[in-house]
A and B are shown apart, each in its own frame.
Chain A
Amino acid sequence: MSASAEVLSQAFTLGYTYTRSTGPVVGRFLTALRDRKIVGIKGSDGKVIVPPMEWDPVTAEALSDFVDLPDTGVVKSWAWVKHPRGKHPLDKPFAWAQIQFDGADIPMIHCVDAGDESAMKAGMRVKVRWAEETIGSINDIACFDPA
């Protein structure tokens, strides 16, 4: 060992040497989002589920019957975030909501930019506000606007 303060170093780039596929169901939904479209799937009982699930939530049957839907829907339940957290999708007070797309039977959770808590109520109509750039992610839906 020499007395000099030599520090051994080596450049290192953390890389994942594999790619992960989101598969035929989740992938189809995310790809549709990239194209600014909403796709649902029919459950075993015929109910339309958005976002599509790979397996039926009750019977666990594999699902594959896709349905195209509009980008509008109805708020079923909501919660008002008075103090948004750093990671939250909006940096001002907003609502989380269970939103049922028109033509769907099962609601999904996303956020609504309603401005004020008093503007929120169950049954209100909302419409997707698309992100400026869509990449095939749930965040391609920037939020929902009251419609």
Chain B
Amino acid sequence: MRDIAIVSFVQSDCVRDAGAQNEVELIMPVLRKALDAAGIQSAQDVDFTCSGSCDYLQGAAFAFVSGVDPLGAVPPIKESHVEMDAAWALYEAVLKITMGQAESALVYGFGKSSPGELPIVLSQQLDPYYMAPLWLDSISTAALQARTMLDNGDITEKDMAEVVARSRKNAKSNPHAQLKGDVSVDELLAEPTYLSPLRKHDCCPVSDGACAMVVATVEKAKEWGKPYAVLKGIDHRIESHNFGARDLTQSPSTQAAAKSAGVANGPVEVAEIYAPFSHQEIILKRALGLGDDTVVNPSGGVLAGNLMMASGLSRIGEVAMRIIRGDIKRGIAHATSGHALQQNLVAVLEEA
């Protein structure tokens, strides 16, 4: 693929309940800041805009259309939407730029999960005949996956608690994190199970918020005169919707996406991984082929705050900003969608 410049990225705080703020009010501040950071005025100044959100969170068909209001889409703009995490909106923008139909794009994702019962809402992502009528929720499918790994001896409960303790510790330096602090593995293991074998802290919290990113061709980014990170590779793969037909202890779709995106083509200083459950970080770290020299989720990851439909794009943005600030030269980001890591996207980012 051609190099794509990530010029700016902004994420809101992860909050448990945004109260009376609606989606438009969650989106507008991050859009403004992302556009300002790129030195442009509005969506009129990019060739393409794409958002990611889920109508089921708002509980209304075409609810995503209200997410276009913050753009000021008059005069008409070229705009699209994915009913997915905004990491996939970025993927669409990358395709648009690669096809030569755009030189710049605005990408954003948003989710206000607090009004509903999120794990039950997500049960409706499943097979509509065999699983959705059981209201098999997203925590339960993750718990089945964790049990399989524990029974196999792939992981221990201590391994899971270590992921959580590191997440909370790293999140202390992330002003947008919802859950942060110093907590020991022993303290975590002393907690009762919530949906056995998972404890509550093994599950990401429910959060409201949004994030936005501006991307462009490298030529356009130079014209704007802003620092940028380079997206060197991006790919996504999906596995069967039948859990029984999958090996839940592995993530072959992540492995395939990582290979295609070129993860192994250089050192990985930082990896931001979208693992909504502690054991999944271990699966993903293995699938991405990461060693101990890679810093995993320096932001705290989504166990510290999970913006549905925005967290995937945030992982990419977190790595991009570390490169733009000059902290690292190369890193990777991962996004997931569906239950028990069904679909996975991997992006490779490098310094300009």
Contacts and interface: CB of A to CB of B under 8 A. Distances in A.
Given A80-B196, A96-B143, A57 B245 contact: yes
A73 B240 CA distance: 23
B133 A137 contact: yes
Given A79-B147, A81-B195, A98 B243 contact: yes
Interface stretch (B134-142, B260-268, B280-288): B134-142
Contacts of A53: 242, 245
Nearest to A79: B143
A109 B244 contact: yes
A40 to B, nearest CB: 11
Contacts of B242: 49, 53, 57, 106
B134 A79 contact: no
A138 B244 contact: no
Contacts, number: 99
Interface residues of A, number: 36
Interface in A67-119: 76-83, 85-89, 96-98, 100, 106-111, 117
A88 B130 contact: no
B244 A85 contact: no
A2 B73 CA distance: 39
A82 B129 CA distance: 26
A81 B140 contact: yes
A26 B129 contact: yes
A139 interface: yes
Interface centre among B194, B198, B240 (most CB of A within 10 A): B240
B292 interface: no
Contacts of B248: 77
Contacts of B338: none
A89 B117 CA distance: 16
B144 A82 contact: no
A78 to B, nearest CB: 6
B253 to A, nearest CB: 13
B70 interface: no
B114 to A, nearest CB: 16
B218 to A, nearest CB: 38
B29 interface: no
A109 B246 CA distance: 13
A30 interface: yes
B126 to A, nearest CB: 9
Contacts of A58: 240, 245
B66 to A, nearest CB: 23
Interface residues of B, number: 33
A53 B241 CA distance: 10
B147 A77 contact: yes
A58 B196 CA distance: 31
Contact of B131 (A77, A79, A109): A109
Interface string A21-59: 010001000100000000000000000010101000110
A31 to B, nearest CB: 12
Nearest to B194: A82
Contacts of A79: 140, 143-144, 146-147, 195-198
A30 B129 CA distance: 9
A81 B141 CA distance: 11
B120 interface: yes
Contacts of A82: 193-196
Contacts of A85: 117, 119-120, 135, 137
Interface string B229-244: 0000000000010111
A87 B131 CA distance: 13
A122 interface: yes
A80 B195 contact: yes
A109 B243 contact: yes
A77 B245 contact: no
B151 interface: yes
A139 B141 CA distance: 18
Contacts of B195: 79-83
Interface of A: 22, 26, 30, 49, 51, 53, 57-58, 76-83, 85-89, 96-98, 100, 106-111, 117, 122, 137-139
15 contacts: A49-B242, A51-B130, A77-B147, A78-B144, A79-B146, A82-B194, A83-B194, A87-B117, A100-B244, A106-B242, A108-B130, A109-B141, A117-B196, A138-B129, A138-B131
Given A87-B135, A107-B243, A108-B130, 13 more contacts: A30-B129, A49-B244, A53-B245, A77-B248, A82-B193, A85-B117, A87-B117, A96-B141, A96-B144, A98-B243, A100-B244, A108-B244, A109-B243
Per CB-CB distance, the 4 closest pairs between chain A and chain B, nearest first, are A79-B143, A57-B245, A87-B135, A57-B240
